[in-house]
Structure 1
Amino acid sequence: MRRVILIIAVFISLVGCSGRYSEFVPPKPDDEAYAPPTLNYDVQRVSQGSLFTGASSMTLFQDRRAYKVGDILTVVLDEKTESDKNATTKYGKDSSLSVSAPTFGTKTIDNFSASADSARDFNGSATSKQGNSLSGSITVTVFDVLPNGVLRVRGEKWLRLNTGEEYLRLIGNVRVEDIDSNNMLSSQRIADARITYAGRGAFADTNQAGWLTQFFNSPWFPF
Protein backbone atom coordinates (compact mmCIF):
# COMPACT_ATOMS: atom_id res chain seq x y z
CA MET A 1 0.00 0.00 0.00
CA ARG A 2 2.83 2.39 0.83
CA ARG A 3 4.45 1.64 -2.50
CA VAL A 4 1.24 2.54 -4.35
CA ILE A 5 0.95 5.82 -2.44
CA LEU A 6 4.59 6.62 -3.21
CA ILE A 7 4.09 5.94 -6.93
CA ILE A 8 1.00 8.18 -7.00
CA ALA A 9 2.88 10.98 -5.21
CA VAL A 10 5.79 10.76 -7.69
CA PHE A 11 3.36 10.79 -10.61
CA ILE A 12 1.61 13.90 -9.31
CA SER A 13 4.95 15.62 -8.86
CA LEU A 14 6.05 14.80 -12.40
CA VAL A 15 2.78 16.05 -13.86
CA GLY A 16 3.01 19.28 -11.92
CA CYS A 17 6.61 19.86 -12.88
CA SER A 18 6.02 19.11 -16.55
CA GLY A 19 3.37 21.82 -16.70
CA ARG A 20 5.80 24.36 -15.24
CA TYR A 21 8.96 23.35 -17.05
CA SER A 22 9.21 26.70 -18.81
CA GLU A 23 9.31 28.46 -15.43
CA PHE A 24 12.47 26.58 -14.46
CA VAL A 25 14.15 27.94 -17.60
CA PRO A 26 13.19 31.63 -17.50
CA PRO A 27 14.03 33.88 -20.45
CA LYS A 28 17.09 36.08 -20.25
CA PRO A 29 18.03 39.39 -21.88
CA ASP A 30 20.20 39.54 -24.99
CA ASP A 31 18.63 36.50 -26.60
CA GLU A 32 20.22 35.90 -30.01
CA ALA A 33 16.79 35.29 -31.53
CA TYR A 34 15.88 38.96 -30.83
CA ALA A 35 19.32 40.57 -31.07
CA PRO A 36 20.13 43.17 -33.74
CA PRO A 37 22.29 42.03 -36.66
CA THR A 38 26.06 42.44 -36.55
CA LEU A 39 27.13 45.06 -39.07
CA ASN A 40 30.48 46.44 -40.20
CA TYR A 41 30.48 50.14 -39.39
CA ASP A 42 33.99 50.85 -40.68
CA VAL A 43 34.11 53.78 -43.12
CA GLN A 44 35.55 52.86 -46.47
CA ARG A 45 38.70 54.75 -47.39
CA VAL A 46 38.60 56.70 -50.63
CA SER A 47 41.76 56.46 -52.75
CA GLN A 48 41.19 59.69 -54.72
CA GLY A 49 41.09 61.94 -51.65
CA SER A 50 37.35 62.70 -51.83
CA LEU A 51 35.21 62.82 -48.67
CA PHE A 52 32.24 61.21 -50.45
CA THR A 53 31.45 57.58 -49.74
CA GLY A 54 28.44 55.90 -51.29
CA ALA A 55 27.90 53.54 -48.37
CA SER A 56 27.47 56.24 -45.73
CA SER A 57 26.32 59.27 -47.69
CA MET A 58 23.27 61.27 -46.66
CA THR A 59 21.23 63.83 -48.58
CA LEU A 60 18.60 66.35 -47.63
CA PHE A 61 16.10 64.52 -49.82
CA GLN A 62 16.67 61.04 -48.41
CA ASP A 63 13.75 59.20 -46.82
CA ARG A 64 14.77 58.42 -43.25
CA ARG A 65 12.33 55.56 -42.90
CA ALA A 66 13.84 52.14 -42.20
CA TYR A 67 14.50 50.21 -45.39
CA LYS A 68 17.76 48.27 -45.00
CA VAL A 69 19.41 45.84 -42.59
CA GLY A 70 20.48 47.56 -39.39
CA ASP A 71 17.87 50.33 -39.54
CA ILE A 72 15.59 50.78 -36.56
CA LEU A 73 11.93 51.73 -36.33
CA THR A 74 9.39 52.18 -33.56
CA VAL A 75 6.35 49.91 -33.33
CA VAL A 76 3.27 51.32 -31.60
CA LEU A 77 1.48 48.47 -29.87
CA ASP A 78 -2.27 48.58 -30.31
CA GLU A 79 -3.49 45.05 -29.73
CA LYS A 80 -6.98 44.26 -28.52
CA THR A 81 -8.82 40.96 -28.86
CA GLU A 82 -12.23 39.91 -27.61
CA SER A 83 -14.06 36.63 -27.98
CA ASP A 84 -17.54 35.60 -26.87
CA LYS A 85 -18.98 32.17 -27.47
CA ASN A 86 -22.23 30.54 -26.32
CA ALA A 87 -23.37 27.00 -26.97
CA THR A 88 -26.57 25.25 -25.92
CA THR A 89 -27.47 21.62 -26.57
CA LYS A 90 -30.77 19.96 -25.77
CA TYR A 91 -32.25 16.69 -26.86
CA GLY A 92 -34.73 14.12 -25.55
CA LYS A 93 -36.27 10.83 -26.44
CA ASP A 94 -39.40 9.09 -25.16
CA SER A 95 -40.43 5.51 -25.87
CA SER A 96 -43.15 3.20 -24.61
CA LEU A 97 -43.99 -0.47 -24.95
CA SER A 98 -47.15 -2.31 -23.93
CA VAL A 99 -48.22 -5.95 -24.18
CA SER A 100 -51.91 -6.69 -23.78
CA ALA A 101 -53.18 -9.66 -21.79
CA PRO A 102 -53.52 -12.78 -23.91
CA THR A 103 -56.95 -14.31 -24.42
CA PHE A 104 -57.60 -18.02 -24.67
CA GLY A 105 -61.12 -18.64 -25.83
CA THR A 106 -63.33 -16.65 -23.47
CA LYS A 107 -60.71 -16.35 -20.72
CA THR A 108 -58.28 -13.45 -20.41
CA ILE A 109 -55.07 -13.88 -18.41
CA ASP A 110 -54.40 -10.45 -16.91
CA ASN A 111 -51.22 -11.53 -15.18
CA PHE A 112 -49.42 -11.71 -18.52
CA SER A 113 -50.07 -8.09 -19.50
CA ALA A 114 -47.08 -5.72 -19.31
CA SER A 115 -46.01 -2.20 -20.19
CA ALA A 116 -42.77 -0.25 -20.17
CA ASP A 117 -41.92 3.44 -20.57
CA SER A 118 -38.55 5.18 -20.94
CA ALA A 119 -37.53 8.80 -21.21
CA ARG A 120 -34.15 10.41 -21.75
CA ASP A 121 -33.38 14.10 -21.58
CA PHE A 122 -30.13 16.05 -21.88
CA ASN A 123 -29.53 19.75 -21.36
CA GLY A 124 -26.08 21.27 -21.79
CA SER A 125 -24.81 24.82 -22.07
CA ALA A 126 -21.43 26.51 -22.22
CA THR A 127 -20.32 30.14 -22.17
CA SER A 128 -16.84 31.49 -22.88
CA LYS A 129 -15.70 35.11 -22.89
CA GLN A 130 -12.15 36.44 -23.08
CA GLY A 131 -10.54 39.79 -23.72
CA ASN A 132 -6.93 40.99 -23.96
CA SER A 133 -5.32 44.33 -24.69
CA LEU A 134 -1.74 45.56 -25.04
CA SER A 135 -0.59 49.13 -25.62
CA GLY A 136 2.78 50.82 -25.58
CA SER A 137 5.76 50.95 -27.95
CA ILE A 138 8.98 49.11 -28.71
CA THR A 139 11.85 49.99 -31.04
CA VAL A 140 13.04 47.11 -33.21
CA THR A 141 15.82 46.52 -35.75
CA VAL A 142 15.66 45.32 -39.34
CA PHE A 143 17.64 42.08 -39.50
CA ASP A 144 16.75 40.92 -43.00
CA VAL A 145 15.26 42.21 -46.24
CA LEU A 146 13.29 39.78 -48.38
CA PRO A 147 13.63 39.79 -52.19
CA ASN A 148 10.24 41.55 -52.51
CA GLY A 149 11.37 44.39 -50.23
CA VAL A 150 9.58 43.24 -47.08
CA LEU A 151 11.55 43.98 -43.92
CA ARG A 152 11.99 41.41 -41.20
CA VAL A 153 12.24 43.10 -37.81
CA ARG A 154 12.87 41.93 -34.29
CA GLY A 155 13.70 43.37 -30.89
CA GLU A 156 13.12 43.16 -27.17
CA LYS A 157 12.68 45.53 -24.24
CA TRP A 158 13.43 44.69 -20.60
CA LEU A 159 12.22 46.64 -17.58
CA ARG A 160 13.72 45.94 -14.18
CA LEU A 161 11.27 46.78 -11.39
CA ASN A 162 11.51 46.47 -7.63
CA THR A 163 9.38 43.31 -7.72
CA GLY A 164 11.05 41.61 -10.67
CA GLU A 165 11.47 42.08 -14.40
CA GLU A 166 9.09 42.57 -17.29
CA TYR A 167 10.02 42.02 -20.92
CA LEU A 168 8.48 42.67 -24.30
CA ARG A 169 9.57 40.87 -27.45
CA LEU A 170 8.49 41.29 -31.04
CA ILE A 171 9.34 39.72 -34.37
CA GLY A 172 7.53 39.97 -37.71
CA ASN A 173 7.44 41.19 -41.31
CA VAL A 174 6.90 44.84 -42.27
CA ARG A 175 6.19 46.66 -45.53
CA VAL A 176 8.13 49.86 -46.04
CA GLU A 177 4.93 51.52 -47.31
CA ASP A 178 3.28 51.04 -43.90
CA ILE A 179 5.99 53.01 -42.05
CA ASP A 180 4.97 56.65 -41.56
CA SER A 181 7.15 59.75 -41.96
CA ASN A 182 8.12 59.59 -38.26
CA ASN A 183 9.60 56.13 -38.78
CA MET A 184 6.80 54.59 -36.73
CA LEU A 185 4.51 51.65 -37.44
CA SER A 186 1.35 50.23 -35.90
CA SER A 187 1.54 46.66 -34.68
CA GLN A 188 -1.66 46.02 -36.64
CA ARG A 189 0.39 46.31 -39.84
CA ILE A 190 2.95 43.62 -38.97
CA ALA A 191 2.59 40.28 -40.75
CA ASP A 192 3.33 37.02 -38.95
CA ALA A 193 3.80 39.01 -35.75
CA ARG A 194 5.05 37.25 -32.64
CA ILE A 195 4.51 39.52 -29.65
CA THR A 196 5.39 38.36 -26.16
CA TYR A 197 4.77 40.32 -22.98
CA ALA A 198 5.49 38.62 -19.67
CA GLY A 199 7.49 38.96 -16.49
CA ARG A 200 9.55 37.05 -14.01
CA GLY A 201 10.29 37.49 -10.34
CA ALA A 202 8.28 37.66 -7.14
CA PHE A 203 5.39 39.58 -8.68
CA ALA A 204 4.99 37.08 -11.54
CA ASP A 205 5.28 34.09 -9.19
CA THR A 206 2.40 35.30 -7.02
CA ASN A 207 0.12 35.17 -10.05
CA GLN A 208 0.92 31.51 -10.70
CA ALA A 209 -0.91 28.65 -9.02
CA GLY A 210 1.15 25.99 -7.27
CA TRP A 211 1.90 22.70 -8.96
CA LEU A 212 -0.59 20.78 -6.79
CA THR A 213 -3.36 23.25 -7.60
CA GLN A 214 -2.49 22.99 -11.29
CA PHE A 215 -2.75 19.21 -11.07
CA PHE A 216 -6.24 19.30 -9.54
CA ASN A 217 -7.31 21.70 -12.32
CA SER A 218 -5.69 19.70 -15.12
CA PRO A 219 -7.21 16.92 -17.29
CA TRP A 220 -5.00 14.43 -15.41
CA PHE A 221 -7.24 14.74 -12.35
CA PRO A 222 -9.93 12.06 -12.85
CA PHE A 223 -12.67 13.64 -10.70
Structure 2
Amino acid sequence: MRAVTLLLMSVALLGCNRLEQVGRAPDFTPVEEGNEYYAMNRTPMPVSLEQPSPTRTASLWSGTPKSLLGDRRAAQPGDIMTVVIEIDDSASFSNSSDRSRSGSESMGIPSLMGIPQRLNEALPDGASMDSAVATNSSSSYAGDGSVSRNEQLTLRVAATVIDALPNGVLRIQGSQEVRVNFEVRELVVAGFVRPEDISRQNEITYDKIAGARISYGGRGQITDVQQPRLGQQVADIILPF
Protein backbone atom coordinates (compact mmCIF):
# COMPACT_ATOMS: atom_id res chain seq x y z
CA MET A 1 0.00 0.00 0.00
CA ARG A 2 2.86 2.37 0.76
CA ALA A 3 4.32 1.84 -2.72
CA VAL A 4 0.94 2.48 -4.33
CA THR A 5 0.49 5.65 -2.27
CA LEU A 6 3.91 6.96 -3.28
CA LEU A 7 3.15 6.18 -6.90
CA LEU A 8 -0.16 8.06 -6.78
CA MET A 9 1.53 11.04 -5.10
CA SER A 10 4.21 11.12 -7.81
CA VAL A 11 1.58 11.07 -10.55
CA ALA A 12 -0.32 13.86 -8.80
CA LEU A 13 2.83 16.01 -8.58
CA LEU A 14 3.54 15.50 -12.25
CA GLY A 15 -0.01 16.51 -13.04
CA CYS A 16 0.37 19.68 -10.98
CA ASN A 17 3.47 20.64 -12.92
CA ARG A 18 1.56 20.23 -16.17
CA LEU A 19 -1.32 22.34 -14.84
CA GLU A 20 1.04 25.28 -14.54
CA GLN A 21 1.30 25.36 -18.35
CA VAL A 22 -2.45 25.69 -18.92
CA GLY A 23 -3.11 28.71 -21.12
CA ARG A 24 0.61 29.40 -21.55
CA ALA A 25 3.08 28.69 -24.29
CA PRO A 26 5.83 26.23 -23.28
CA ASP A 27 8.96 27.90 -21.97
CA PHE A 28 12.34 27.69 -23.67
CA THR A 29 15.13 25.73 -22.06
CA PRO A 30 17.58 28.21 -20.46
CA VAL A 31 20.74 28.42 -22.52
CA GLU A 32 22.78 28.90 -19.34
CA GLU A 33 22.05 25.29 -18.37
CA GLY A 34 23.54 23.72 -21.50
CA ASN A 35 27.01 22.36 -22.09
CA GLU A 36 27.52 24.90 -24.87
CA TYR A 37 27.34 27.80 -22.42
CA TYR A 38 29.87 26.23 -20.05
CA ALA A 39 32.26 25.45 -22.91
CA MET A 40 32.17 29.03 -24.20
CA ASN A 41 32.26 30.57 -20.73
CA ARG A 42 35.32 28.67 -19.51
CA THR A 43 37.42 29.09 -22.65
CA PRO A 44 39.13 32.40 -23.42
CA MET A 45 39.07 33.86 -26.89
CA PRO A 46 41.82 32.40 -29.11
CA VAL A 47 44.94 34.51 -29.36
CA SER A 48 47.22 34.25 -32.33
CA LEU A 49 50.75 33.10 -31.55
CA GLU A 50 52.07 35.62 -34.03
CA GLN A 51 51.43 39.11 -32.65
CA PRO A 52 51.20 41.53 -35.58
CA SER A 53 53.31 44.61 -35.45
CA PRO A 54 51.62 48.05 -35.50
CA THR A 55 52.48 48.43 -39.16
CA ARG A 56 50.70 45.16 -40.04
CA THR A 57 47.46 45.52 -38.07
CA ALA A 58 45.56 46.63 -41.20
CA SER A 59 47.09 44.04 -43.51
CA LEU A 60 44.76 41.64 -45.35
CA TRP A 61 47.43 38.92 -45.24
CA SER A 62 47.92 38.61 -41.49
CA GLY A 63 47.72 35.12 -39.98
CA THR A 64 45.04 35.87 -37.42
CA PRO A 65 41.64 34.12 -37.66
CA LYS A 66 39.93 37.49 -38.13
CA SER A 67 41.89 38.38 -41.24
CA LEU A 68 40.46 38.11 -44.75
CA LEU A 69 42.14 34.77 -45.47
CA GLY A 70 42.36 33.53 -41.87
CA ASP A 71 41.22 30.05 -40.87
CA ARG A 72 37.87 30.49 -39.12
CA ARG A 73 37.14 26.81 -38.62
CA ALA A 74 36.23 25.61 -35.15
CA ALA A 75 39.24 24.07 -33.45
CA GLN A 76 38.92 24.32 -29.68
CA PRO A 77 36.26 24.22 -26.95
CA GLY A 78 33.92 27.15 -27.19
CA ASP A 79 34.14 27.51 -30.97
CA ILE A 80 30.97 27.30 -33.04
CA MET A 81 30.39 25.44 -36.30
CA THR A 82 27.40 24.72 -38.53
CA VAL A 83 26.04 21.18 -38.83
CA VAL A 84 24.21 20.43 -42.07
CA ILE A 85 21.62 17.65 -41.71
CA GLU A 86 20.28 16.30 -44.99
CA ILE A 87 18.81 12.85 -44.38
CA ASP A 88 17.10 11.23 -47.34
CA ASP A 89 17.07 7.51 -46.64
CA SER A 90 14.81 4.89 -48.12
CA ALA A 91 14.85 1.13 -47.88
CA SER A 92 12.63 -1.66 -49.14
CA PHE A 93 12.82 -5.35 -48.31
CA SER A 94 10.63 -8.14 -49.63
CA ASN A 95 10.84 -11.82 -48.77
CA SER A 96 8.70 -14.66 -50.05
CA SER A 97 8.81 -18.39 -49.40
CA ASP A 98 6.66 -21.32 -50.46
CA ARG A 99 6.84 -24.97 -49.42
CA SER A 100 4.59 -27.96 -50.04
CA ARG A 101 4.74 -31.68 -49.34
CA SER A 102 2.40 -34.61 -49.96
CA GLY A 103 2.58 -38.31 -49.29
CA SER A 104 0.39 -41.38 -49.69
CA GLU A 105 0.75 -44.99 -48.55
CA SER A 106 -1.55 -47.98 -48.84
CA MET A 107 -1.18 -51.67 -47.96
CA GLY A 108 -3.58 -54.58 -48.39
CA ILE A 109 -3.72 -58.38 -48.44
CA PRO A 110 -6.16 -59.40 -51.19
CA SER A 111 -5.10 -63.06 -51.16
CA LEU A 112 -2.90 -65.21 -49.01
CA MET A 113 -3.89 -68.92 -49.21
CA GLY A 114 -7.50 -67.96 -48.52
CA ILE A 115 -6.67 -66.46 -45.14
CA PRO A 116 -7.90 -62.91 -45.99
CA GLN A 117 -11.23 -64.33 -47.14
CA ARG A 118 -11.63 -66.23 -43.88
CA LEU A 119 -10.78 -63.07 -41.95
CA ASN A 120 -13.26 -61.02 -43.98
CA GLU A 121 -16.03 -63.30 -42.77
CA ALA A 122 -15.14 -62.51 -39.16
CA LEU A 123 -14.78 -58.77 -39.75
CA PRO A 124 -17.74 -56.38 -39.43
CA ASP A 125 -19.75 -55.52 -42.50
CA GLY A 126 -17.87 -53.29 -44.90
CA ALA A 127 -14.43 -54.22 -43.52
CA SER A 128 -11.95 -56.02 -45.75
CA MET A 129 -8.33 -57.06 -45.73
CA ASP A 130 -7.98 -55.91 -49.34
CA SER A 131 -6.91 -52.47 -48.03
CA ALA A 132 -5.74 -53.17 -44.54
CA VAL A 133 -3.69 -49.96 -44.11
CA ALA A 134 -4.00 -46.68 -45.94
CA THR A 135 -2.39 -43.34 -45.01
CA ASN A 136 -2.56 -39.97 -46.67
CA SER A 137 -0.74 -36.77 -45.65
CA SER A 138 -0.44 -33.31 -47.10
CA SER A 139 1.12 -30.06 -45.83
CA SER A 140 1.77 -26.66 -47.30
CA TYR A 141 3.37 -23.38 -46.13
CA ALA A 142 3.46 -19.95 -47.69
CA GLY A 143 5.05 -16.81 -46.25
CA ASP A 144 5.36 -13.27 -47.51
CA GLY A 145 6.89 -10.22 -45.78
CA SER A 146 7.89 -6.73 -46.77
CA VAL A 147 9.43 -3.67 -45.09
CA SER A 148 9.32 -0.18 -46.52
CA ARG A 149 10.94 2.91 -44.95
CA ASN A 150 11.31 6.48 -46.18
CA GLU A 151 12.86 9.31 -44.15
CA GLN A 152 13.65 12.85 -45.25
CA LEU A 153 14.99 15.64 -43.04
CA THR A 154 16.83 18.82 -44.01
CA LEU A 155 18.07 21.10 -41.22
CA ARG A 156 20.96 23.36 -40.27
CA VAL A 157 21.98 23.96 -36.68
CA ALA A 158 24.89 25.69 -34.95
CA ALA A 159 26.91 23.39 -32.69
CA THR A 160 29.54 24.22 -30.08
CA VAL A 161 32.80 22.39 -29.52
CA ILE A 162 32.40 20.95 -26.02
CA ASP A 163 35.74 19.22 -25.66
CA ALA A 164 38.91 18.36 -27.57
CA LEU A 165 40.00 14.75 -27.06
CA PRO A 166 43.67 13.76 -26.75
CA ASN A 167 43.73 12.40 -30.32
CA GLY A 168 42.52 15.72 -31.72
CA VAL A 169 38.90 14.71 -32.29
CA LEU A 170 36.36 17.37 -31.30
CA ARG A 171 33.22 16.64 -29.34
CA ILE A 172 30.34 18.85 -30.44
CA GLN A 173 26.84 19.51 -29.20
CA GLY A 174 24.15 21.84 -30.48
CA SER A 175 20.51 22.56 -29.77
CA GLN A 176 17.83 24.70 -31.32
CA GLU A 177 14.32 25.57 -30.18
CA VAL A 178 11.63 27.23 -32.28
CA ARG A 179 8.29 28.16 -30.77
CA VAL A 180 5.25 28.45 -33.02
CA ASN A 181 2.09 29.42 -31.14
CA PHE A 182 1.87 26.87 -28.31
CA GLU A 183 4.31 24.29 -29.67
CA VAL A 184 8.11 24.23 -29.30
CA ARG A 185 10.11 22.30 -31.89
CA GLU A 186 13.42 21.01 -30.51
CA LEU A 187 16.49 19.96 -32.48
CA VAL A 188 19.47 18.38 -30.72
CA VAL A 189 22.67 17.16 -32.36
CA ALA A 190 25.79 15.70 -30.74
CA GLY A 191 28.78 13.59 -31.72
CA PHE A 192 32.48 13.58 -32.57
CA VAL A 193 34.15 15.18 -35.61
CA ARG A 194 37.63 15.40 -37.03
CA PRO A 195 39.02 18.92 -37.56
CA GLU A 196 40.06 18.05 -41.11
CA ASP A 197 36.44 17.19 -42.00
CA ILE A 198 35.30 20.73 -41.27
CA SER A 199 34.99 22.72 -44.50
CA ARG A 200 36.47 26.17 -45.11
CA GLN A 201 32.96 27.54 -44.55
CA ASN A 202 33.11 26.11 -41.01
CA GLU A 203 30.44 23.53 -41.86
CA ILE A 204 30.25 19.77 -41.48
CA THR A 205 27.67 17.31 -42.77
CA TYR A 206 25.95 14.84 -40.46
CA ASP A 207 27.47 11.80 -42.22
CA LYS A 208 30.95 12.88 -41.02
CA ILE A 209 29.90 12.92 -37.36
CA ALA A 210 30.92 9.79 -35.44
CA GLY A 211 28.46 8.59 -32.85
CA ALA A 212 25.93 11.10 -34.16
CA ARG A 213 22.88 11.67 -31.99
CA ILE A 214 20.20 13.64 -33.82
CA SER A 215 16.82 14.30 -32.22
CA TYR A 216 13.97 16.29 -33.69
CA GLY A 217 10.79 16.53 -31.69
CA GLY A 218 8.62 18.93 -29.79
CA ARG A 219 6.63 19.77 -26.70
CA GLY A 220 3.44 21.67 -26.25
CA GLN A 221 -0.27 21.29 -26.79
CA ILE A 222 -0.05 19.16 -29.95
CA THR A 223 2.46 16.78 -28.37
CA ASP A 224 0.33 16.45 -25.23
CA VAL A 225 -2.75 15.51 -27.25
CA GLN A 226 -0.82 12.85 -29.18
CA GLN A 227 0.42 11.15 -26.01
CA PRO A 228 -1.68 9.06 -23.59
CA ARG A 229 -2.45 10.51 -20.18
CA LEU A 230 -0.12 9.86 -17.24
CA GLY A 231 -2.60 7.54 -15.55
CA GLN A 232 -3.00 5.51 -18.71
CA GLN A 233 0.78 5.18 -19.09
CA VAL A 234 1.10 3.96 -15.49
CA ALA A 235 -1.78 1.53 -15.97
CA ASP A 236 -0.19 0.13 -19.14
CA ILE A 237 2.98 -0.63 -17.17
CA ILE A 238 1.39 -2.07 -14.05
CA LEU A 239 -1.59 -4.04 -15.35
CA PRO A 240 -0.61 -7.58 -16.41
CA PHE A 241 -3.45 -7.91 -18.94
Provide the TM-score with structure 1 as the length reference. Answer: 0.68
The corresponding residue for 1:39 is 42
The corresponding residue for 2:215 is 196
Could you say if the C-alpha distance between residues 197 and 58 of structure 1 is closer, same or farther in structure 2, counting changes exceeding 3 Å?
Answer: closer
What's the % identity of the aligned pairs? 28
The corresponding residue for 2:3 is none
CA-CA distance at 1:203 after TM superposition: 2.1
> How many aligned positions are there?
180
The corresponding residue for 1:105 is 113
Could you say if the C-alpha distance between residues 83 and 42 of structure 1 is closer, same or farther in structure 2, counting changes exceeding 3 Å?
Answer: closer
Q: Which consecutive residues of structure 1, in runs of 5 or more, have no partner in the other structure? A: 1-23, 45-50, 52-56
Residue deviations 1:81-111 (CA, integer Å, cap 9, x gap)? 2111111122122122212135341353461
Cα root mean square deviation, aligned: 3.3
The corresponding residue for 1:153 is 172
The corresponding residue for 1:142 is 161
Higher strand share: 1
Query: 122-131 vs 96-105, which deviates more?
Result: 96-105
The corresponding residue for 2:88 is 80
Could you say if the C-alpha distance between residues 209 and 89 of structure 1 is closer, same or farther in structure 2, counting changes exceeding 3 Å?
Answer: farther
Q: Which amino acid aligns with 1:39?
A: R
Q: Which amino acid aligns with 1:97?
A: E
Matches within 5 A, 1:1-223: 29-30=29-30, 34-36=35-37, 37=39, 38-41=41-44, 60=67, 62-101=70-109, 103-106=111-114, 108=116, 109=120, 111-112=128-129, 113-208=132-227
Structure 2 residue matching 1:203: 3-state secondary structure: helix
Could you say if the C-alpha distance between residues 71 and 192 of structure 1 is closer, same or farther in structure 2, counting changes exceeding 3 Å?
Answer: same
Provide the TM-score with structure 2 as the length reference. Answer: 0.63
Q: Which amino acid aligns with 2:111?
A: T
Could you say if the C-alpha distance between residues 87 and 58 of structure 1 is closer, same or farther in structure 2, counting changes exceeding 3 Å?
Answer: closer
Q: Which consecutive residues of structure 2, in runs of 5 or more, have no partner in the other structure? A: 1-17, 19-27, 48-53, 55-63, 121-126
